[in-house]
Structure 1
Amino acid sequence: MEYSRKAPSANPEANSLSQLSIAKKIKFLKYHFDKIEAVFEEERKQYIQADKIEQERTKNDEDDHNYNYEYSQALREIEMVYLRMHRYTAILTLYSYLEDTLNQICDISKKNLVIEKSYKNFKGSGIKRAKEYLKKEINVDFTCVNSEWSALSILNELRNCIMHGNGNLLYDEHKERGFKVIVNNYNYFEEIEGRFVFFSSEYVRKMFNNVECFLTYLLNPKLVGVNR
């Protein structure tokens, strides 16, 4: 790869954690997500048009013996397979960044504010453990970001369903029963093929914004002793 040795790293994670690095990372994630969405949307439009032509060609047939299902099948694959995999990947990447950044904030706060306990001493795991640590040890007030946290709690459940069950709502029926209810009552979610969770591109974009807002709030030096 050709680039200047003196050029600053293009990867936000390679630089110190700040409100600016958060904004840059989310910007990159959005760009990557939207670019792939656009590719599939263009293919989807082409297959829809081709299938309409096929429907017109065979509209007077008595049955579908001569109907070419190639286009409708390709369309179904895009909607049920490729877009699902793409959006699953986006959610896992975003959640990983959220959890890692929260853990970094905990570590930096511990050091800068000279606190004995680490977030690792707290029970649980993931973003819930980090939040609990920041609330109890750093006295962070989360009132201003309650709505964002509620959305991130659902994101956490979605991540677990994807990570541990490949999006299969039945992978652990007892444990995930609550999440299945959320899926069936949440505007951005739907259940496909009787067991898999699917969600709109709007949901992913909404989560980009929620994560950025939540982390930007926490990276206020007055809250956790982290430099901008």
Structure 2
Amino acid sequence: MMKHKFVRTARLSLISIEIDSFRDYIKYIENSFRKELASYEDGAKRVPAGFEDEYWDYHLDEARQYSTEFPTIMRNSLFVSIYTFLESKIADLCVSDEKTLLTLSDIKGQGIEQASTYLKKVLLLDFPYDTKEWKYIEKAKSLRNCIVHTNGHVSKVRKPESVEKAIKELDYVKKDKDGYISLESEFCLDFLENVHSFLKELYQR
């Protein structure tokens, strides 16, 4: 038991380092988008009076890339990456011991659901289902599945009502006018902090 505790503590330290890298990257890339967009806004202030419309006619498509298109691609990709990171860190705990011959692949399901079942039913770990972080992650899972399977188009997912519910209940996410999930600049960092808190809770049990 003490050996397992020591290993988990060591792994949690490494997890915190990886979380720091995610956090630094999120702040860096979001700040980069803000700087690029600000450069176009500053440029508009320097054009002669009366020529603002001509300036934006020329630069609007470029500015839109930094205000909408690039952030959407980055946030969706980063959100899915953090979720995959979470899955892998939960699965890392699913190691059979001398008390059981069952492995993770013997359990029905996939991803987080499969791993959480293994930890609770096979390794008898007190899985933190009752925490606010886990409830947050469960809602975020609907967003993740929608982004992965339908590129974020809410009405095309198998259970759109669960996605709509998640959008309504989670901060920093909305549905745009075309029916796609739209993650705001704060979302990935908020998700990351919830993941970190959850993993700390899990690894300390």
Q: TM-score, normalised by structure 1?
A: 0.75
Q: Quote the Cα distance in structure 2 between the aligned partners of 1:216 and 1:185.
A: 24
Q: CA–CA distance in 1 between the matches of 2:134 and 2:164?
A: 20
Unaligned runs of 5+ in 1: 1-15, 224-228
Give the superposition deviation at 1:55. Answer: 9.8
1:77 Cα deviation from its structure 2 partner: 2.1
Whether 2:24 is the aligned partner of 1:31: answer yes
Structure 1 residue 106: Cα displacement? 0.9
Letter in 2 for 1:195: G
Q: What residue is the counterpart of 1:83 in the other structure?
A: 71
Pick the aligned partner of 1:170 from 141, 145, 155: 155
Structure 2 equivalent of residue 186 of structure 1? 170
Superposed displacement of residue 45, structure 1: 1.2
In structure 1, C-alpha distance between the alignment counterparts of 2:149 and 2:10, rounded to whole Å: 29
8 Å CA contact 2:175, 2:182 repeated in 1: yes
Q: Which residue of 1 aligns with 2:3?
A: none
Aligned equivalent of 2:184: 200
CA distance in 2: counterparts of 1:198 and 1:126, whole angstroms:
24
* Gap change, CA 1:95 and 1:196, over 3 Å in 2: same
Q: Is the 8 A contact 1:51 1:71 kept in 2?
A: no
> 2: CA distance between counterparts of 1:162 and 1:212?
22
Measure, in 2, the Cα distance between the counterparts of 1:51 and 1:192.
27
Letter in 2 for 1:100: S
In 1: Cα distance, 2:43 partner to 2:169 partner: 34
1:1-228 correspondence to structure 2 within 5 Å: 18-51=11-44, 57-58=50-51, 66=54, 68-107=56-95, 110-111=96-97, 114-143=99-128, 146-172=131-157, 174-220=158-204, 223=205
Q: Which residue identity does 1:219 align to in structure 2?
A: Y
Tell me which residue corresponds to 1:226. none
- Cα distance, 1:122 vs structure 2: 2.2
CA distance in 2, matches of 1:83, 1:55: 30
Segments of structure 2 that go 5 or more residues without pairing to the other structure are: 1-8
Give the whole-Å Cα distance in 2 for the aligned partners of 1:136 and 1:177.
30
Superposed displacement of residue 84, structure 1:
0.6
* Number of residue equivalences: 197
Q: Choose between structure 1 and 2: higher helix proportion.
A: 2
**1:48–1:72 contact (8 Å) kept in structure 2:** no
